[in-house]
């Protein structure tokens, strides 16, 4: 671990997310305390807690780096390669400062906070509502799969369905939105067909739960990449796992279209994948489908991917 990190954000960048201009920031903080078997993001974080002042400096750096774009951002998506609502890793002083700086985003419509669902509370939601005039607050969680064995044992998420369902209910009561990561082909012994079906089942499950409480839902579909140095990578090697094909993303989107749930697809492993650990190693037509999915991500125009949908 590099203890001489510059204490700049791990990542910041602009994108179009479901039709909105989005500023995405991942702050550099202490590493996540959970040990999900597929994740090596903690290697990019600090081994110890970082003080609020240091995190506030990162916030200031982002505001300065994007000062010319601040008036045009409609969405701000923030995380820390863990849970931005974890007070040990993102102190209340720093979080309050972040909320206070939203005044610099005059066009902001949505604040999206990436977190474990356990940290979502009524007090957090009420604070943001009281201190801002935002039309919508979004909470992004890593539910990954509705299959309890896959989620609890294979992925080691230590995340029970009843917790997710309780938080979905809370979000619905408060008029907030849920964004959930869904993994495509998360099991090391899964066939391509099984991976597609499980992703569809997971999206259906989340849709059903959100419908019960009138909670808005967005899906962030992630084709699995085999992350370097993880326990899951060892299992994948043992079972000769092959990453999901990019065509399978198209099949999941087509198979869930009737749910009327927006699906944004993650197409980058951020240099976390081991060699031949993601879809890029599999097909010659990756680039054409990838370009189509990038356009689909922006505005959810089904025509962008229609030519790749199998009848």
Please check whether residue 23 is in contact with residue 75, taking contact to mean a CB–CB distance below 8 angstroms: yes
Coil/strand/helix, residue 120: coil
φ, ψ dihedrals at 78, nearest 5°: -125, 145
Mean pLDDT value across residues 27-54: 84
Instruction: Kindly state the DSSP code that residue 227 receives in the 8-state scheme.
Output: B
pLDDT tens, position by position, 67-98: 999 999 999 999 998 899 999 999 999 999 99
Least confident range from 48-52, 60-64, 166-170: namely 48-52
For the cut 50, the answer to whether the pLDDT of residue 3 exceeds it is no
Query: Angle at the Cα of 92 (from 90 to 95), degrees rounded to 5?
Result: 70
Q: Taking the mean position of all CA atoms in its chain, how far away is CA 76?
A: 13
For the cut 80, the answer to whether the pLDDT of residue 281 exceeds it is no
The pLDDT assigned to 268 comes to 78
State the Cα–Cα distance between residues 232 and 183, nearest whole angstrom.
14
Identify the residue with better confidence: 17 or 38: 17
The pLDDT assigned to 220 comes to 98
Sorting pLDDT into bands at 50, 70 and 90, what band is 4? very low
Identify the residue with better confidence: 176 or 224: 176
Mean pLDDT value across residues 293-306: 97
Domain range annotation of the chain: 11-308
State the Cα–Cα distance between residues 143 and 155, nearest whole angstrom.
11
Identify the residue with better confidence: 274 or 61: 61
- What average pLDDT does the chain have? 92
Coil/strand/helix, residue 220: strand
The pLDDT assigned to 85 comes to 97
Q: Both tokens of residue 134?
A: 């935002």
Report CA dihedral (106, 10, 42, 268) to the nearest 10 degrees.
90
Identify the residue with better confidence: 145 or 34: 145
Sorting pLDDT into bands at 50, 70 and 90, what band is 284? low
The pLDDT assigned to 98 comes to 98
pLDDT tens, position by position, 177-192: 999 999 999 999 999 9
State the Cα–Cα distance between residues 87 and 70, nearest whole angstrom.
27
Hey, CA dihedral for 43, 230, 195, 164, is it positive or negative?
negative
The CATH number of the structural domain formed by 11-308 is 3.20.20.70
The pLDDT assigned to 45 comes to 77
Sequence-distant (6+) residues with CB within 8 A of 281 are 243
The pLDDT assigned to 166 comes to 98
Q: Both tokens of residue 278?
A: 């993601």
pLDDT tens, position by position, 122-167: 999 999 999 999 999 999 999 999 999 999 999 999 999 999 999 9
pLDDT tens, position by position, 216-272: 999 999 999 888 889 989 998 999 999 999 999 999 999 999 999 999 999 876 777
State the Cα–Cα distance between residues 139 and 114, nearest whole angstrom.
6
For the cut 80, the answer to whether the pLDDT of residue 1 exceeds it is no
Partnered with residue 24 across adjacent β-strands are 13, 77
User: For the chain, how big is the Rg over CA atoms in Å?
Assistant: 19
| Residue carrying structure tokens 């992630």 | 222
The pLDDT assigned to 282 comes to 67
CA atoms within 13 A on the CB side of 76: 25
Please check whether residue 265 is in contact with residue 293, taking contact to mean a CB–CB distance below 8 angstroms: yes
Q: Taking the mean position of all CA atoms in its chain, how far away is CA 199?
A: 15
Q: Considering the entire predicted model, what is its pTM?
A: 0.93
State the Cα–Cα distance between residues 124 and 131, nearest whole angstrom.
11
């Amino acid at each position: 671990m590099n203890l001489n990190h510059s204490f700049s954000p791990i990542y910041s960048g602009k994108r179009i997310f479901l039709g909105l201009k989005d500023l995405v920031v991942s702050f550099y903080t202490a590493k996540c305390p959970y040990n999900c078997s597929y994740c090596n993001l903690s290697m990019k974080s600090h081994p110890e807690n970082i003080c609020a002042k240091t995190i506030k400096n990162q916030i200031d750096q982002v505001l300065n780096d994007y000062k010319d774009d601040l008036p045009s951002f409609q969405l701000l998506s923030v995380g820390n390669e863990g849970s931005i609502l974890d007070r040990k890793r993102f102190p209340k002083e720093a979080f309050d400062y972040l909320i206070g700086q939203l005044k610099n985003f005059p066009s902001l419509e949505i604040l999206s906070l990436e977190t474990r669902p356990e940290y979502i509370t009524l007090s957090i939601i009420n604070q943001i509502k009281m201190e801002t005039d935002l039309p919508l607050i979004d909470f992004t969680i890593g539910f990954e799969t509705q299959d309890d064995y896959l989620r609890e044992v294979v992925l080691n998420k230590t995340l029970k369905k009843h917790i997710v369902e309780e938080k979905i209910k809370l979000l619905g009561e408060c008029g907030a939105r849920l964004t959930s990561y869904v993994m495509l082909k998360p099991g090391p012994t899964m066939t391509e067909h099984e991976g597609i079906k499980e992703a569809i089942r997971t999206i259906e499950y989340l849709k059903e739960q959100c419908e019960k409480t009138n909670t808005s839902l967005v899906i962030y579909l992630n084709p699995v990449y085999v992350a370097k140095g993880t326990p899951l990578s060892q299992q994948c090697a043992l079972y000769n796992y092959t990453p999901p094909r990019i065509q399978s993303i198209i099949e999941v989107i087509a198979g869930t279209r009737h749910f009327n749930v927006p699906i944004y697809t993650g197409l980058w492993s951020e240099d976390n994948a081991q060699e031949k650990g993601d879809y890029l190693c599999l097909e010659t037509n990756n680039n054409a489908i990838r370009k189509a999915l990038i356009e689909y991500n922006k505005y959810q125009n089904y025509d962008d991917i229609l030519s790749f949908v199998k009848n």
